[in-house]
Structure 1
Amino acid sequence: MKTELKFRLATEQDLDKIVKMLADDHLGRKRERYEQPLPDSYIMAFHAITSDPNNELIVACQENEIIGVQQITFTPYITHQGGWRATIEGVRTASSVRGKGVGTELIQWAIKRAKDRGCHLVQLTTDKKRPNALRLYERLGFKATHEGLKLKL
C-alpha cells in the first residue's frame, strides 16, 4: 500500500460500508443483504459485538476511506492451561484494493492485537471456495492443523 493504513474500532456510521464490502464478492452476494436501509439484523449484530469487551470489529482506513474490515473474538479456554485465543472472522477488503496487501496488513494487525491481549493462539477459518484467502493465511504462517466442521441451523 502506498498510504499507511490506520486501524480503528468500527462505529455504527461505518456499518453501511462494512456490509457493502461483505456483500461484494461471489460468496457474499449469496448470503448478505446490502440494501437501503440496512436490515435491522446488521444493526443488532453491530450493537452485540460492540457491547462485548471480548469482540472487536476493526476497520482499516486509507486516508478517510474504509477499505477493510475484520472481527476479532477473544475467548478464554479451559484447555491450554486456561489460555486465551483470538478468532479472526469476516475479513474483507474493498474490491478496489484486493491483491494490494490490505488483507496481509489486516491479519498482521490482528495477530499483534491478539498478542497484546495475551492470547497464546490465533485461529481463523476460510471458505474452501476462497483459495486466494487460503494462500494468504498460509503465507502468514497459519497451518491447517485441525479439521473444521459447521452445522447450519
Structure 2
Amino acid sequence: MTDHREVAVVRWPGQNPPVEDGLAALLAAYHLQTEAEKGESVADVDELPDRYRAEIADPRTAFAGDVVLVALLSDTVVGCLVVTSPNNGRAEIKRLWTGPESRGRGVASALLSAALTQAAELGAHTVRLSVWEWRTGAIALYERLGFAVTPSWDEREQLVCMQRPFRGVTAIR
C-alpha cells in the first residue's frame, strides 16, 4: 500500500492553514462527480439538490456535531471525510473524497485511519458507510480495512452498505 506519511490529516474547523475554501471545493467535486456517475445531468453546483448545496455553502452548519477531517499535502487541501457522532454505538463515515490529482498517494488511507481513531474516541463500537457499487476501488480499500458488506439500511438502488465492528485502530501502511 502507498506510504502516506506525507499526508497530514487535520480536524476541521480550527486548523492552520485555513481549509474552508478547499473543503467546499472538494465537497462540490464529490457531489458533482457522484451525480454524473448516477446519470444525472448536473452542469454546476447550482443544479445540485438542496441538501448537497447546503454542505458546500456552509459545511460548518451541515456537519455540526460531526467530525470533519481534511487531508493536506503541504498546505493544499486534497481530501476530506466526515465521521458522524455515534448513534446507538455506530459512527458513520461519509463524503470520503480525494481530488483526482492526488490519488494514489495514500490520502484516502490516511483519512480512513484518522476516521477510525475518531470513531474510537467518540465511543463507537461499529463504523459503517455506504458506497455506490461502481466505486470498486473504494470498496476494495474498505474491505482491506476490515469492512464487510451488510444488509442495507438505505433504500437507494446500487448503494452498498458496509460496516466494521470496532476492535481498535490498526495503522494503515
TM class by smaller structure? 0.7 to 0.9
Asked if the contact 1:60/1:69 (under 8 Å) is kept, the reply is: yes
Match of 2:9 in 1: 6
Separation in 2 of the partners of 1:104 and 1:139? Answer: 10
List gaps (5 residues or longer) in structure 1: 78-83
- Aligned-residue offset at 1:2: 5.6
Asked if the contact 1:19/1:32 (under 8 Å) is kept, the reply is: no
Residue 74 of structure 1 pairs with residue 77 of structure 2: no
Separation in 2 of the partners of 1:73 and 1:88? Answer: 7
Separation in 2 of the partners of 1:92 and 1:31? Answer: 20
Match of 1:81 in 2: none
Separation in 2 of the partners of 1:58 and 1:145? Answer: 25
Separation in 2 of the partners of 1:32 and 1:110? Answer: 30
> Which 4+ residue blocks in structure 1 deviate beyond 4 angstroms?
30-36
Indicate the percent of aligned positions where both proteins have the same amino acid: 23
Residue type matched to 1:48 in 2?
T
Separation in 2 of the partners of 1:110 and 1:33? Answer: 31
Separation in 2 of the partners of 1:151 and 1:4? Answer: 33
- Higher RCO (CA < 8 A, seq sep 6+): 2
Gap change, CA 1:14 and 1:100, over 3 Å in 2: closer
Residue 92 of structure 1 pairs with residue 92 of structure 2: no
Separation in 1 of the partners of 2:83 and 2:94? Answer: 6
Match of 2:133 in 1: 128
Separation in 1 of the partners of 2:102 and 2:108? Answer: 9
What is the RMSD computed on CA atoms of the aligned residues? 2.9
- Aligned-residue offset at 1:117: 1.1
When normalised by structure 1's length, the TM-score is: 0.75
- Superposed, 1:31-70 pairs within 5 Å as 34=44, 41=54, 42-44=56-58, 46-50=59-63, 52-53=64-65, 55-70=66-81
Asked if the contact 1:69/1:90 (under 8 Å) is kept, the reply is: yes
Q: Deviations over 1:9-41 (max 9, x none)?
A: 15543343223431574x3544766559x9963
